[in-house]
Amino acid sequence: MKFKLWAIGVAIAIGIIAFFVLKATVFNTDASPQPLGNEPDRTNAIYNIKLKKGEQGDFEVSSSVNVTNDSPDSWSDIGFYLVPNAMNSEETPLYEDEDLVIDISSITVDGEEAAYELDNNELLVELNAKLAPKSAANVTVEYSMILPENGMRLSQVEDNYYLAHWYPMLGFYDDGWDIKDYDSKGESYDTDYGDFTVSYELSKDYLVASSGEDGSIEAASTGTVTGENIKDFYMAIMDPEEWEVESVQANETELRVFTPRSANMLEETSELAVDAFVYFEDNIGDNPFAELDIISNDGYMEYPNIIEVAADEESQESVLVHEIAHQWFYFIVTNDPYNEAWLDEGLTEFSSSLFLSERYDDDEYGFWSATMAAEYYPPETYVNLPLDEFEEETYYSTIYGKVPVLLKEFFDDNGGNKAALEFLSAYYANFQFKQVDTVEFKEFFEGYFDGDQSEFLDGWLK
């Protein structure tokens, strides 16, 4: 994700448009790019979601999820993130957009009505009997919602509908459900990989883009999309009159590109997207998914197999490259974004800076955005703080600035940009479809490089 707020601050401070616009060492490991090889044996959540859109932009949702208890404990309840419930000023005091309206009509477990507790975005569904390890239960939640006009992420913009974190998302269980309150400063929901079948019934023909495999770009009013090993499922429903579209090939992946008709930026966006995708795949590792959708709606946000980027050509370059890089660091290698945001945002910005450096043969240009972020506001000493311990300004300067700048300085003394890409490739190969934390990153870093790296790492990682 990139942030307009950060960009505005930089623009005021230095009087120019920032790239963030609402956003020889010896190695002991073979670091050549690796094919994808450690997909999970299974997921513990299988979603079957039915979505119906009314004439006025209202939605009815039936979300059925088969949940397997993959912990050693027996469960008395099952925890979900229901973010739409927190998208109002009552539940989230700093929420500034128009309130989202949600109404739950029914929650059942294995076909029987179930009691539940709903607080902010934490939905705890009570079980009539303990769910033993390796056992499964089906939880179905039926609800309606009305999206806020021009809201953040989950929103309606004229006759376009952007469905982010819109369904009950299974949380992580670790000696209990640790579901943090919604925080728009960053990503406050932590979800595991799941398999999805999403069926939709719309009031007319729309363009649909999602985290699943959508196929050819054609307006439709009904359809079903599926996806496996996906962290969270995003869907955009767009008025076909407002968009220019095309599909382009990047290695084995189809990029489906949507830009506003008024922007005249389809060709440039597609060309840059192909270049960035191929660069990351060739230098970091294979992306196994068949599609990546790119929507120029000023969303500045990453989701599995789909990204929201700038709606104007001037802002597009750094935003588009950053969000594409997130497919490697956030999606295929994942982390807890509430407690470990530096692992995806920091490594993503470092990766995108390496791309821009090579594209223009200019490291100063490539790392300009990261450098400006680090200088925008004094960063925190340690980068691996939970979201609620950051002020908004220090979050941006620390995560988007300090992390890539520190890594750049390290690799400048240890093999340069080529060595940095080799490290990222080895890291990616080791942690595909796994959740990484700071401890694991430090252990991998120490094992990858010869010699004791604690002096470098301990200066910025707690």
Query: Do 258 and 185 sit in the same domain of this protein?
Result: no
Answer whether residue 207 is part of any domain: no
Answer whether residue 368 is part of any domain: yes
Residue 137, both tokens: 């239960």
Q: What is the CATH number of the domain that holds 101?
A: 2.60.40
Strand ranges (DSSP E) for 297-448? 301-303, 306-309, 333-335, 434-436
How do residues 143-164 score in pLDDT, each as one tens digit? 999 999 998 899 999 999 999 9
Distance of CA 385 to the CA centre of its chain: 19
pLDDT, mean of residues 223-227: 98
Helix axes 266-283, 416-431, angle to 10 degrees: 80
Query: Do 323 and 448 sit in the same domain of this protein?
Result: yes
| Burial letters 272-311, b for 16+ CB under 10 A, else e | bbbebbebbbebbbbbebebbbbbbbbbbbbbbbbbbbbb
Instruction: Identify which of 219, 293, 233, 216 has the alpha carbon closest to the alpha carbon of residue 259.
Output: 293
| Residue 21 pLDDT class (50, 70, 90 cuts) | very low
Q: How many domains does the chain have?
A: 2
Answer whether residue 240 is part of any domain: no
C-alpha to C-alpha distance for 287 and 251, rounded to whole angstroms: 10
Query: Is the CA virtual torsion 253, 254, 259, 263 positive or negative?
Result: positive
Query: Do 250 and 340 sit in the same domain of this protein?
Result: yes
| Structure confidence at residue 371 (pLDDT) | 98
Q: What is the CATH number of the domain that holds 411?
A: 1.10.390.10
Answer whether residue 3 is part of any domain: no
Answer whether residue 204 is part of any domain: no
Query: Do 178 and 273 sit in the same domain of this protein?
Result: no
Instruction: Identify which of 124, 257, 236 has the alpha carbon closest to the alpha carbon of residue 179.
Output: 124
Query: Do 333 and 449 sit in the same domain of this protein?
Result: yes
Domain end point (choices 192, 213, 237): 192
pLDDT, mean of residues 447-456: 97
Answer whether residue 264 is part of any domain: yes
Residue 317, both tokens: 């370059």
Domain end point (choices 192, 210, 226): 192
* Residue in the block written with tokens 């997909």: 39
| Residue 93 pLDDT class (50, 70, 90 cuts) | confident
Compute the half-sphere exposure of residue 448: CA atoms within 13 Å on the CB side of its CA.
21
Beta carbons of 80 and 121 less than 8 angstroms apart: no
Name which residue leads in pLDDT, 24 or 77.
Answer: 77
Residues 6+ apart with CB under 8 A from 101: 145, 146
Residue 442, both tokens: 């430090």
Distances (CA, A) of 372 to 16, 36, 375, 379: 11, 35, 5, 12
How do residues 39-64 score in pLDDT, each as one tens digit? 444 468 999 999 999 998 899 999 99
Answer whether residue 324 is part of any domain: yes
What is the chain's length? 462
C-alpha to C-alpha distance for 259 and 312, rounded to whole angstroms: 9
Instruction: Identify which of 321, 357, 335, 347 has the alpha carbon closest to the alpha carbon of residue 425.
Output: 347
Query: Do 188 and 250 sit in the same domain of this protein?
Result: no
Query: Do 145 and 58 sit in the same domain of this protein?
Result: yes
pLDDT, mean of residues 117-144: 98
Answer whether residue 230 is part of any domain: no
Query: Do 297 and 430 sit in the same domain of this protein?
Result: yes
Beta carbons of 78 and 137 less than 8 angstroms apart: yes
Query: Do 303 and 173 sit in the same domain of this protein?
Result: no
Lowest mean pLDDT among 9-18, 193-202, 371-380, 393-402: 9-18
| Structure confidence at residue 43 (pLDDT) | 61
| Domain of 382, in residue numbers | 246-458
3 state DSSP class of 326: coil
| Structure confidence at residue 2 (pLDDT) | 58
State the DSSP H helix or E strand holding residue 112, giving kind and residue range, or none if neither.
Answer: strand 112-113
Q: 3-state secondary structure string, 191-243? A: CCCEEEEEEEEEEEEEEEEECCCCCCCCCEEEEEEEEEEECCCCEEEECHHHE
| Residue 96 pLDDT class (50, 70, 90 cuts) | confident
Query: Do 166 and 293 sit in the same domain of this protein?
Result: no
How do residues 406-439 score in pLDDT, each as one tens digit? 999 999 999 999 999 999 999 999 999 999 999 9
How do residues 249-286 score in pLDDT, each as one tens digit? 999 999 999 999 999 999 999 999 999 999 999 999 99
| Structure confidence at residue 84 (pLDDT) | 98
| Structure confidence at residue 427 (pLDDT) | 99
Beta carbons of 286 and 295 less than 8 angstroms apart: no
Query: Do 187 and 287 sit in the same domain of this protein?
Result: no
Query: Do 363 and 265 sit in the same domain of this protein?
Result: yes
How do residues 338-362 score in pLDDT, each as one tens digit? 999 999 999 999 999 999 999 999 9
| Structure confidence at residue 311 (pLDDT) | 97
C-alpha to C-alpha distance for 363 and 382, rounded to whole angstroms: 25
Instruction: Identify which of 302, 307, 372, 305 has the alpha carbon closest to the alpha carbon of residue 337.
Output: 302
Distance of CA 2 to the CA centre of its chain: 11
Tell me the chain's radius of gyration from C-alpha atoms: 21
C-alpha to C-alpha distance for 205 and 234, rounded to whole angstroms: 19
Domain end point (choices 155, 171, 192): 192
